Structure 1
Amino acid sequence: MSRTRSRVALAAVVYAVLLAQVLLYPGIDTLVGRLGADTALDASTWFLAAEFGAFVVFAVPWGMASDAAGRRVPFVAAGALLGAVGYVLLAVVPVATGSFPLALGLRVFQGAATVGAFSLSMTMLMDLEGSHGRNMGATGIAIGLGTATGAPLGGALYELGPLVPLYVASGVLLLVALGALFVVDRAPAGGERGSPFASLRRTPTLTLPYAFGFVDRLTAGFFSLVGTLYFRTVFELSPAATGLTLALFFAPFALLQYPFGVVSDRIGRTIPIVAGSALYGVAVIGVGAASELRIAQAGMVVVGVLGALMAPATLALVTDLAAAMERGVAMAGFNIAGSLGFLTGIVVGGVAADTYGYGTAFLLVGGLECVLAAVTLPVFLRLSVERTDYA
């Protein structure tokens, strides 16, 4: 399989995993109610947090096992298959028992499985030879398209019933498990079991993409919960309309990542990451300050464009800095940082919105992006990895 075909195939795997995940977001409040929850905001917060808590805990074991075995494909297929089982159990068991705590436990199992397919398919894109920006741009397109199509599709599926997105997510992951078996495995030969912490000790500059991965995913977690409820309550949108509004962010975020990844190969990582993050933070604040729906929706488009500018450069920086034999744990470390960020965005964003209102919550999250960009700029200016003009 050629490098280009492998890039497309692996991007399709990442896309499918994200699609399955995001299908649940537009009507998350109705879903948790069907699973036995008594509240909307609190229960939605814990339901999303359970999955990403599992992401944090289980990303490292998947990465360590893959690096040690010198294989990726069997682990991707196994993670996807177990994730498919997890989604089906979520649709069946809590409804039969009426136990929301049981639903949270099954959500942890589903997240622990899904992170294996997600993290290691991204690692397989790191294993491809050639331009890091192109490879990570393909990853970004897959992530963006998965979320862009998942949001409106999920909203439409909720119109058919609150459990329908769970069954569709299970089917999507089953296809991932089957499709992954036909992808060429380019993992380096197996080595010693490492860890993201050991990689950080050897390569401290990995803290840069990890920090930005944390904050960028924090905003994603914030939008998945607070953003969804913001549009549902403040502008009184239906789940379907909310999904379409979220897609205003995800569509440009997806479509522009590959060209912006190529740009980062030419001009370096600093401008896309630092300048992009600062402007991104301002745009997030603008969405929360909007007084009219159309203005908020226009702001979502701007947020999507700026997110596409910085995301592939941040992922490519992980590849630039990580040793070849440690790519699995390096990407696991990045996904741990991202999952912690997503979890923080859900919990802190939910608490801030509930306590101080949506405007303050948006200001808090957007301001954090601006502060990180300002604090890390001197470090980026001293960073030796600036341009990677790969074919």
Structure 2
Amino acid sequence: MSDAGRDDDDDSRRQRRDRIALALVVYAVLLAQTLVYPGVDILARAFGGQGVAAPTLFLAVEFAAFAVFAGPWGALSDRLGERRRLVALASAGGAVGYLALAGVADAGLPFAAVLVIRALQGGATVGALSLAISALADRSGGNGRNMGIAGIAIGLGTATGAPLGGQLYEVGATVPLLAAAGLLGVAAVGALTIPDRPPAAAGDGARRHGGLSALLAGLREQRDLSIPYAFAFVDRLTAGFFALVGTLYFREAFGLGPGATGLLLAAFFAPFALLQYPFGLLSDRIGRVVPIAAGSAVYGLVVVLVGLAPTVPLVAVAMVGVGVLGALMAPATLALVVDLAGDSDRGAAVAGFNAAGSLGFLAGSLVGGAVAAEFGFLAAFVVAGGSEFLLAIAALPGLLRLGRRAGRSAVFSGGD
């Protein structure tokens, strides 16, 4: 083998190791985040919160912080031209936030003060998540491939966090918080071992906006990003819907316990996690339009079918369908963001995607719960699934326009 061939093989192996290491960081962040979900009502009571509003606020504050702080992390990363140390810093900050929360439980601190700590923890955690995904996008080999790897890490972290967190709550109310702090501490150390491969620092031309202003500024400067951002919002709306309304529906309509409900959710999460990488590769070959448009339209209809299914086995089949279709469109949507973002604004563009998704998760839980309370579960499923279907139809002309634009072969017909 020639020296050039050996160098190519060595680079390929390094790239593979880097992808795996970054995926593990993303996995650790999502696992830490979802550990607290199964017993969030128990945790809220430990902090002195009362009623249904307390656990809802505890979850909502983190996602609000995600939306506000994702932009500053991305803009700072683009300006400095590095990811590694910022991922480590954000992970360490998230670990400190979780430890602080565990330390103030049962301490009599006002619940409003607990929510402030929770917001700061969320603001740090989103930096680790968003910049680790941006670092994956910096790697060569195709945006669909790289975002598929990120999708697997996200899906597996979400899928394993809830059942593991449920077992940790059996030990103690604050044990999931301590475990989350440990995971983010490991992620901070691991991030320092991953070499940076970002574009050159953007300098004075970098986007300087932060928080939601970064998302809005990105849309002003690159209006095409409105399409994947809209899909991010609606996709995460359905995720937030299932996290709250779907769980309540499965328990109430079919009399299921937490274990059986967890298995139904796993029917979605398993294919959603495992299929993102091959579907990400597929989007590199055939482009982003078909996976996003067709996948989202059918996805919305299948979400409605979950609410119409009369038996648990049929619900499980529909949930598998939701997971497969979600895996089809998720990596293509995130890869489209990377396709459209310039090299100097990649971190900010991915941050805007995460901010839009966080707002969608909030909307899904709040709007879905309100519709279910006022009009019933079926109406809530129609609203959630119908929103996805209608967006796919409305956005199709814009997606096709992107596909026809010169130099956008990666968007429509594959490419690197």
**What TM-score results when the alignment is normalised by the length of structure 2?**
0.89
User: 3-state SS of the aligned residue for 1:64?
Assistant: helix
Per-residue Cα deviation, 1:232-273 (whole angstroms, up to 9, x for no partner): 444444444433332221111000000001111111111110
1:322 aligned to 341, 345, 348, which one?
A: 341
Match of 1:29 in 2: 41
Match of 2:406 in 1: none
1:6 aligned to 4, 12, 18, which one?
A: 18
User: 3-state SS of the aligned residue for 2:106?
Assistant: helix
Contact in 2 for aligned 1:253/1:304 (Cα 8 Å) = yes
Match of 1:150 in 2: 161
Per-residue Cα deviation, 1:297-343 (whole angstroms, up to 9, x for no partner): 22221111110000000011011111001001111111111111111
User: 3-state SS of the aligned residue for 1:97?
Assistant: coil
Note if 1:46 corresponds to 2:32.
no
Residue type at the aligned position of 1:338: G
Paired residues for 1:175-324 under 5 Å = 175-191=186-202, 192=204, 193-194=206-207, 195=209, 196=214, 197-324=216-343
Q: Following TM superposition, by how much is the alpha carbon of 1:221 offset from its aligned partner in structure 2, in angstroms? A: 1.5
2:95 aligned to 73, 81, 84, which one?
A: 84
1:350 aligned to 336, 346, 369, which one?
A: 369
Q: Which moved more, 1:144-153 or 1:289-298?
A: 289-298
Tell me, in whole angstroms, the C-alpha distance in 1 between the residues paired with 2:189 and 2:314: 43
Tell me, in whole angstroms, the C-alpha distance in 1 between the residues paired with 2:82 and 2:51: 44
Contact in 2 for aligned 1:25/1:225 (Cα 8 Å) = no
Note if 1:169 corresponds to 2:180.
yes
Q: Following TM superposition, by how much is the alpha carbon of 1:198 offset from its aligned partner in structure 2, in angstroms? A: 3.9
Tell me, in whole angstroms, the C-alpha distance in 1 between the residues paired with 2:369 and 2:301: 20
Distance 1:151 1:247, change over 3 A: farther
Q: Following TM superposition, by how much is the alpha carbon of 1:116 offset from its aligned partner in structure 2, in angstroms? A: 0.5
Tell me, in whole angstroms, the C-alpha distance in 1 between the residues paired with 2:25 and 2:374: 39
Q: Which moved more, 1:231-240 or 1:203-212?
A: 231-240
**What TM-score results when the alignment is normalised by the length of structure 1?**
0.94
Q: Following TM superposition, by how much is the alpha carbon of 1:62 offset from its aligned partner in structure 2, in angstroms? A: 0.7
Match of 1:126 in 2: 137
Contact in 2 for aligned 1:158/1:239 (Cα 8 Å) = no
Which consecutive residues of structure 2, in runs of 5 or more, have no partner in the other structure? 1-12, 404-410
Match of 2:356 in 1: 337
Contact in 1 for aligned 2:98/2:121 (Cα 8 Å) = yes
What is the root-mean-square deviation in Å for CA atoms of aligned residues?
A: 1.7
> Which stretches of structure 1, 4 residues or longer, exceed 6 Å deviation after superposition?
none
Distance 1:154 1:299, change over 3 A: farther
Tell me, in whole angstroms, the C-alpha distance in 2 between the residues paired with 1:283 and 1:137: 22
Q: Which has the larger radius of gyration?
A: 2
User: 3-state SS of the aligned residue for 2:388?
Assistant: helix
User: 3-state SS of the aligned residue for 2:303?
Assistant: helix
Contact in 1 for aligned 2:105/2:174 (Cα 8 Å) = no
Q: Which moved more, 1:207-216 or 1:29-38?
A: 29-38
User: 3-state SS of the aligned residue for 2:50?
Assistant: coil
Match of 1:386 in 2: 412
Tell me, in whole angstroms, the C-alpha distance in 2 between the residues paired with 1:202 and 1:67: 16
Contact in 2 for aligned 1:152/1:244 (Cα 8 Å) = no
Residue type at the aligned position of 1:165: P
Match of 2:10 in 1: none
Tell me, in whole angstroms, the C-alpha distance in 2 between the residues paired with 1:93 and 1:229: 30
Residue type at the aligned position of 2:413: R
1:114 aligned to 115, 125, 138, which one?
A: 125
Residue type at the aligned position of 1:3: Q
Q: Following TM superposition, by how much is the alpha carbon of 1:4 offset from its aligned partner in structure 2, in angstroms? A: 1.5
Q: State how many pairs are aligned.
A: 389
User: 3-state SS of the aligned residue for 2:248?
Assistant: helix
